[in-house]
Amino acid sequence: MIECKICRKTFKTIPWSHLHYRHKMTPAEYKRKFKVQFIHSPEARQKIGRHLFGHAVTDREPTPEERKEFHGWMNQLWKQPRLKKKLRKIREKAWKNKKRRKGLSARMKKQWADPQYSAQVSEALKKTLKRPEVIANKRRIFKELWKDTGFRKKMAKRKPPPGAVSKLTDDQWREVIGWLKKDPKQLGIQAVRLNLIHLAGLIRERWGVTFGEKNVHYHLTKRGCFIAPIGTGEKPDFSNVSLRYRKWVVPHGH
């Protein structure tokens, strides 16, 4: 059990309602005032710790079995429509509070100013984005979006940043595809075959338009090209692919 330091009542966990209605303070204010880390009893912390893989009790990393158990537990929770609706309302209400939003923004800026924190989060995000289920879900969402004529019109009207060219013309893309038939050495590239990184660099030199490798891949596949890994059994990589051209295809929205 844990004792409230103001009225000396004992609880398993000092409830928010007790602090709010009896003492007119929030849990954060209570912790600051009395310099305590938890408002939970050791027993409650152990119970919370079992759900959060020991993070509330120790600093150890969760085992794969604990992580799987926790994700299963969270998935079951999120399948409850009432809970989902309630949490959505809480988030919306919190986000409408300008003072809270400003404080959250300031805290996030302070956190991201720390190079160690930003590197750690960026690395975790990269790992998440490479997961097959995340990639599949992202593709599904984009396919659904591009079926909507309103979304396509909105993307067509999108203005580029000042001083930048938004896109290449079809004739320019035909020239890019024509480069695939040439020897890379004729284009000043010391390589056996062209890849997407080479093409992005050539486009930048030729027309001053900066495309990422993913954008070049997207535009080429829309116009009849496809890519395949050079070696059998290898993962497709932007620096390790063979580019092949079937026939000119008129892109969507033209």
Both structure tokens of 31: 């912790």
Cα–Cα distance, 232 to 230 (Å, whole number): 7
pLDDT for res 163: 46
Confidence of residue 87 (pLDDT cuts 50, 70, 90): confident
Per the prediction, the chain carries an average pLDDT of 78
* The token pair that represents 253 in the structure block: 């929205």
Among the residue ranges 89-93, 130-134, 215-219, 231-235, the one predicted with the least confidence is 231-235
- pLDDT tens digits, one per residue of 167-207: 788 889 889 988 888 888 898 888 888 888 888 899 989 88
- Binned at pLDDT 50, 70 and 90, residue 33 comes out as confident
